[in-house]
Amino acid sequence: MKIMPEKKKNIDALSAREYEIIELIAKGLSNKEIAELLCLSVHTVMTHTKNIFKKLNVKSRYEAAYEHLTRTH
């Protein structure tokens, strides 16, 4: 049985915009609220969020916020 190594969770790999969005996710803002605040479409925020999930190897906003908060604060 082959065990796959866990993917590295790299908060440093986030773009400036992704970092901005994860900060707002960690504050509890919805996609709609983030979109309005940053003058983006909700679809664009969702795309950035999916990219954040991939880079951090997480599956939820909660996990992404947790990774962000534990690695940056």
**pLDDT tens readout for residues 11-29:** 678 999 999 999 999 999 9
Supply the range of the domain harboring residue 49: 13-72
Q: Is a pLDDT exceeding 50 seen at residue 67?
A: yes
Residue 2, domain member (yes or no)? no
| DSSP assignment string, 20-69 | HHHHHHHTT--HHHHHHHHT--HHHHHHHHHHHHHHHT-SSHHHHHHHHH
State the pLDDT at residue 19: 95
Residue 4, domain member (yes or no)? no
**Residue 45 belongs to domain with CATH number:** 1.10.10.10
Please give the model's pTM, rounded to 2 decimal places.
0.82
Residue 28, domain member (yes or no)? yes
Quote the number of domains for the chain.
Answer: 1
Q: From the centroid of its chain, how far is CA 35?
A: 14
